[in-house]
Amino acid sequence: MQTGVNKSNLSTSPAARAETVLHRLRRRYPRVRSQLTWNSPWELLVSTILAAQCTDTRVNAVTPRFFSRWPTIADLAQAEQSEVEEIIRSTGLYRNKTKNLIQSARKLVENYDAQVPSTMQDLLTLPGVARKTANIVLSHGFGRHEGIAVDTHVKRVSYRLGLTRSKDPGKIEHDLMPLFPRPAWGEINHLLVWFGREVCQARSPKCSQCILTDICPREGVVG
């Protein structure tokens, strides 16, 4: 456990700090993975859309019924708005999520032969899909690393670690990409998410239990 702060380590470059972050978090989470349950790029896309402002546990409780009712993209493209809303209601923002899911399914049927595309450019044409969702689908559904998904945990932890000075997700992604090897872009999202949930929490970060204390400038941390 790292509890003391070595001031000399805090003066290292963000690149050197990022290398240490990746190394230590890999040791802490040797089998890091998404907590969402999915079996195909389509199921991953749906689950990721549903996970917006919702816990993975809640999404995993909803998706079995969802995919049982609409097992294919073509099935969802013909779904009734009200029926989808009823099934995903507990995930929050259910009206917008329903609209985006149905419209995305229809677009996939019309333009992509009812298949989830494997490029950033094509994924971003789908309703409700921004870079975060597209990065997750590409990295974990297709093994393609086009960027780093920036959610609330990645945003908070990377800022506190001094890996970015921005709080804008797009700028944060731009700052993080040169700091980590491209094959690790999908992995670093999971590592920072898990670490943010367990240790570097929003309201009460567990700095005394942190394995990154000696290299962390604690940007924005009060106390």
DSSP result, 142-163: S---SS----HHHHHHHHHTTS
Measure CA 29 to chain center: 16
- What gap in Å lies between CA 26 and CA 123, rounded to an integer? 29
Question: Taking the CA atoms of the chain, what radius of gyration do you get in angstroms?
Answer: 19
- What gap in Å lies between CA 201 and CA 204, rounded to an integer? 6
Say if CB 212 and CB 3 are below 8 A apart. Answer: no
CB-CB neighbours of 19 under 10 Å: 15
Catalytic one of 56, 113, 122, 151 = 151
175 among known catalytic residues: no
Catalytic one of 97, 132, 155, 175 = 132
Tokens of residue 39, six digits: 């079996």
SS3 content of the chain, % helix, strand, coil (to 5): 60, 0, 40
122 among known catalytic residues: no
Q: Which residues are catalytic?
A: 132, 151
